[in-house]
Structure 1
Amino acid sequence: MKNLLKLTQIAGISLMSVGLVNAQTFLDLETNAVSENLSSYLKSADDGWFAYSIPAAAGTHSMCCYNQGEKAACDLTKKQYGFGSSSDSLYTDNIHVFVHLDNGGIKRVMPMGDHCQVKAKGLTVDWLTDVSNNESINWLKHEASQNAHDSNNSLYVLSLHQGDAAPEALVDLAADNAGEYSEQAVFWLGQRQSDGYEYLAELYDSLPVGEVRRKLNFALSQNKTKDSVALLKGIALEDRDSEQQADAIFWLSQTDGVTDLPEFLIELMSTTESDEVQEKAIFSLSQIQTSEANQELAKLVKDHKDAEVREKSLFWLAQNSPERARVAAMDLLKTSSRESEQENAVFVLSQLPSEQSSAALFSVIKGDYNRNIKKKALFWLSQSDNEDTISQLEKLL
């Protein structure tokens, strides 16, 4: 990239950018223009700030700082800030990478978009005018591998670069299977909506079972393409790692646009023998919070052969649909021969909204149930602070 950003000095105090394509960026800082290899510069540079610009990946929203009191602005003199972009941000053609060297190391790497105002009154920023896309990627890749926690955001900035070299670098870092920076490389691949899926699929086939491979589930849920959802379903159905399989089920429930999810989860429960997968599928059904999902939970309470599945389904049904849970619990009391299941049904009734709970528990006390179940219902009624419930208890006793 050659001379994309031209700077004009004004009385040695401030600079304004001109000639920046589609730019609204204004630099309020002193600057020294530097034309030098990026790696060479880093080896010899003193502490301070330097910056360069490279083309942004397609569909990149303009990034900027948060909570600085002004809209779309970054002040380099501030010590504490967050930065990023949102789906409401304008698209940017370029990434302006600001790097802070401190005590001989990289303290912070900050990407800013074309629509971000940059301020740094009193600071000097060395501007590198001939940094290529590949040179930036190679430097950031090396920096990320040396910084396990990626506390300076080098992986985030790498993920914003244009072209195939950026996701390929992230794949290499993920393939290291080296802990946190590999896990974060997987995450940032998921943020590349235009081309992230094919690289995530490649990693799914090549990574060994373990934490880095499991991070693919969340990355796929964030990628949000049809192919990503299809792969996530495949993992949920038949992955050889039961922990990854269960985690995939959870992230499916958090992914928008999976219209057939209740049916998919019910089918999954009919084919798996894993308790962990069963439990996660029930929880995922509860997270959908639609009438269809609640109906499926009620069916599990009524018809599933496993008592533990019925118990968990009833618990989550009560959180989403108290009236359905009341009906299901009363049916269980009549049909189940397991005292522990009957006791759980009474407990669920006790957790319903006050009026529903009291009416149901009184019907248990007055109904044709064994003495122990009636005692449980009486116990839960005695915990109520509702005046009407207390009055009815006094009359009953």
Structure 2
Amino acid sequence: MKTALLAAIAFVGSPAALADGFSSAMGKVDGWAGWRVPLAEGVAAPCCQSHSRKGDLHRRCHLDERDWSVTTHKPVASGASGDLLVFARIEGGKVRRLRVTSEDCPIDSTVPVSDLGAPAPAESVAWLTAQLGTSQSDEAMAAIAWHAGAPADAALKAAAAPGRPMKVRENALFWIGQTRGAAGVETIARFATQDPDAALREKAIFALSQAEGTDTFDRIRAIARDDAAPSVRGQAMFWLAQQFPERAEAEILSLITREKDESVREEGVFALSQLGDERAAKALIAVARGNYPRDVRRQAIFWLGQTGSDEAIAFLDTVLSAPER
């Protein structure tokens, strides 16, 4: 590893240990091992964050801290070099912890770390893929996603494929959206529209809504309009409201008008309530006053009562004070 890595970490051993292969070297580790691979271009680079005993946030983290969490900072520019550091804590042949950071993230360790150098990315990805579905599954998926190159691309797609556990599939789709750019959005969109499992399609909508670097409004709108499953259409309206409030209002109103399923109409009204207090109140009042089915107007009045905005309260006062017919 580069000597500029992290001076606070004491490395032992030599990258020459990889002569027998990365998996073989990992099989001999008892304690912490660390290695480096190229970091995917254009992604927000990972770093740890932790809190001191006083509650202050700081950026130097200890490998063994239990409250370790990951934040991100500036993306690696296209064509620029950058490395991902992967650390694994192995005890009795079991992987107990996985940590990932970029090379400029300040971390430390009070115990030596076995230096596994720079294995081929495919070897690193293969070892991490074997950890999917274990107690370190989430961390392994994130580590795979931050790898540059085709082996990581293929591993993420394979993890999202039918036949894998739902949690693994969902996690893979999320990370594809976070780290694979426009090509990743195309992959997620195929799952969101073609996967036979409606529950997976719902998860794919979330991944689409969170995808980095590409506007996915039109894709989610099409799902809200066309998917065969009511639950999927409802989820699509919810994420339109969450991620695109400025554009979602008119679209959701249109979808509610044409929607035949009562449960989906109710989801649509709930989605309107998520647009932000002022925008939500205006949209819900328009529904309550509009030429919508009775169940839709009733739901709009209910959610107006939950917003607590001045405009909503004034409207409800008007409704309640109106003379009975």
Fold conserved between structures, TM > 0.5: yes
By how many angstroms is 1:275 displaced? 1.4
Contact 1:214/1:244 (8 A) holds in 2: yes
By how many angstroms is 1:205 displaced? 4.4
Q: What are the ranges of 5 or more consecutive residues in structure 2 without an aligned counterpart?
A: 77-81
Q: Which residue, out of 16, 39, 47, partners 2:23?
A: 39
Does 2:210 correspond to 1:210?
Answer: no
By how many angstroms is 1:289 displaced? 2.5
Matching residue's letter, 2:123? E
Evaluate the alpha carbon distance shift between residue 130 and residue 113 of structure 1 in structure 2; reply closer, same or farther with a 3 A threshold. closer
By how many angstroms is 1:49 displaced? 1.0
Q: Which residue, out of 291, 295, 301, partners 1:308?
A: 295
By how many angstroms is 1:369 displaced? 3.6
Q: Who is 1:97 aligned against?
A: 86
Q: Which residue, out of 218, 226, 233, partners 1:230?
A: 218
Residues 132-281 of structure 1: pairs in structure 2 closer than 5 A: 132-144=120-132, 146-147=133-134, 150-151=136-137, 153-175=139-161, 176-192=163-179, 194=181, 195-256=183-244, 259-281=246-268
Q: What TM-score do you get using the length of structure 1 for normalisation? A: 0.71
Q: Who is 2:79 aligned against?
A: none
Matching residue's letter, 1:110? R
Single out whichever of 210-219 and 272-281 deviates more from structure 2: 210-219
Identical counterparts, % of pairs: 24
Evaluate the alpha carbon distance shift between residue 74 and residue 182 of structure 1 in structure 2; reply closer, same or farther with a 3 A threshold. same
Q: What TM-score do you get using the length of structure 2 for normalisation? A: 0.85
Residues 14-163 of structure 1: pairs in structure 2 closer than 5 A: 17-18=3-4, 25-35=6-16, 36=18, 37-42=21-26, 44-69=27-52, 71-76=58-63, 78-86=64-72, 89-91=73-75, 93-121=82-110, 123-144=111-132, 146-147=133-134, 150-151=136-137, 153-163=139-149
Q: What are the ranges of 5 or more consecutive residues in structure 1 without an aligned counterpart?
A: 7-16, 332-345, 347-359, 371-397
Single out whichever of 217-226 and 322-331 deviates more from structure 2: 322-331
Instruction: Quote the RMSD (CA, aligned, Å).
Output: 2.5
Matching residue's letter, 1:111? V
Deviations 1:205-253 (A, max 9, x none): 4422233332101111111554522211111111111111111111111
**Bigger Cα Rg:** 1
Q: Distance in 1 between matches of 2:9 and 2:68?
A: 20
Matching residue's letter, 1:32? G
Query: Secondary structure of the residue that 1:162 maps to in structure 2?
Result: coil
Q: Who is 2:284 aligned against?
A: 297
Q: Distance in 1 between matches of 2:122 and 2:92?
A: 26
Q: Distance in 1 between matches of 2:118 and 2:278?
A: 59
Query: Secondary structure of the residue that 1:143 maps to in structure 2?
Result: coil
By how many angstroms is 1:162 displaced? 0.9
